[in-house]
Amino acid sequence: MTDPLEAAARTAQGRSYAPYSRYRVGAALEADDGAIYAGCNVENASYGLTICAERAAICAAVAGGARSFRRAVVVSDSDPPAAPCGACRQVLAEFGDFELSAVGPRGALRWRVTELLPAAFSREQLA
pLDDT at 81: 97
**Tens digit of each residue's pLDDT (9 = 90 or more) over 61-80:** 999 999 999 999 999 999 99
Active site residues: 54
pLDDT at 127: 86
User: What φ, ψ does residue 34 adopt, rounded to 5°?
Assistant: 95, -10
pLDDT at 1: 63
**Tens digit of each residue's pLDDT (9 = 90 or more) over 64-123:** 999 999 999 999 999 999 999 999 999 999 999 999 999 999 999 999 999 999 999 999
Domain borders along the chain are 4-126
As its CATH architecture, domain 4-126 has 3-Layer(aba) Sandwich (3.40)
* Cα 63 to Cα 38: distance, rounded to the nearest angstrom: 12
* Cα 37 to Cα 114: distance, rounded to the nearest angstrom: 21
pLDDT at 2: 83
- Mapping DSSP to helix (H, G, I), strand (E, B) and coil, where does residue 43 land? coil
